[in-house]
Amino acid sequence: MASGNINVSDVEETLARIKSHKGVEGVVIMTKEGAIIQSSLSEEDSKEYAALISSLTEKASSLVDTLDADDELNFLRVRSKKKEIMVAPEGSFVLVVIQNPNATID
Amino acid sequence: VCLNLENQERVLTIRCPTTNNNRLFAQEEIVSMSAIEDTLERIKGQQGVEGYVICNREGSVLRRMASMSQGTAEKYARHMNEMATKARHVTRDLDPEDDLQNLRIRTKTKEVILSHSAEFIIIVIQKWTPYS
């Protein structure tokens, strides 16, 4: 994502595309600290996800740093029995997508 | 680990390296030992795989890919165990009936895949490049 030449409609388009994927339950854009910028979930769900995911992402980021100081966290996927949480940190923002991995099977 | 096959009951005995107790496995699990070996061979043979570590939840390395040093394997085992516990807590906080299955951490150069179960963790490290 090159900074400076993104406009609001690009962001909206990307979010709409992600949300329309089969199985996607929610999309959250937040800051690294867990402050919610935009979310397709209810306020309390968003807050819950934001708090848990931001601290997990922080841990993952420091893990990567421990294993290799030159490396950087690029993406994180947490898969459980019922859902899959995908986390894309980018600078000071984090994009989180929650999907039901079983919904993609037709 | 030493394996003894007791003929009569067809029971596989494995001496647990940490507690030195004999653990008994049922007959079904004899089959799964070779399935494990096959799976490890398949993983090893995949292009881009840089290493794998199988460890228990205490962080003791049970198996590692030959090309990995024991020190590296232990480092991964220790850190990924912590990571797995944290990720599991997140999963359970969101839904108490849910449980962690796997975790993928992707960096600029590699991807660390962790497969989680109650007793063991399997960690695979593979090369990653964009659009590969």
ipTM for the assembly: 0.86
Consecutive H or E run containing B50: strand B49-56
pLDDT computed for residue B32 by the predictor: 66
Interface with A, mutate which of B107, B123, B124 (most A CBs under 10 A) = B107
Determine contact: A77 vs chain B, CB below 8 A. yes
Which DSSP string do the residues of A56-102 spell out, in sequence order? Answer: HHHHHHHHHHHH-TT--EEEEEEEESS-EEEEEEETTEEEEEEE-GG
Q: Which two tokens stand for residue A60?
A: 């993952």
- B38 strand-pairing partners: none
Determine contact: A44 vs chain B, CB below 8 A. no
Q: Which two tokens stand for residue B130?
A: 């964009």
Q: What is the pLDDT of residues B49-63, one digit of tens each?
A: 999 999 998 889 888
Q: What is the pLDDT of residues B17-66, one digit of tens each?
A: 554 555 554 444 555 677 778 888 888 888 899 999 999 988 898 888 88
Determine contact: A74 vs chain B, CB below 8 A. yes
Q: Which two tokens stand for residue B29?
A: 């699990």
Instruction: Measure the CA–CA gap between A50 and A39, rounded to whole angstroms.
Output: 10
**DSSP designation for B115:** E
First to last CA, chain B: 38
Chain A with chain B: Cβ pairs closer than 8 A: 78
Q: How many CB atoms lie within 10 A of CB A34?
A: 19
Determine contact: B109 vs chain A, CB below 8 A. yes
Instruction: Measure the CA–CA gap between B60 and B15, rounded to whole angstroms.
Output: 15
Which residues of chain A are modeled with pLDDT < 70?
1-5, 104-106
Q: Which two tokens stand for residue A35?
A: 């402050």
pLDDT computed for residue A48 by the predictor: 93
> Which residue of B lies nearest to A59 if distances are taken between CA atoms?
B83
Quick check: A77 and B98 CB within 8 A? no
Interface with B, mutate which of A67, A70, A71, A97 (most B CBs under 10 A) = A67
Determine contact: A65 vs chain B, CB below 8 A. no
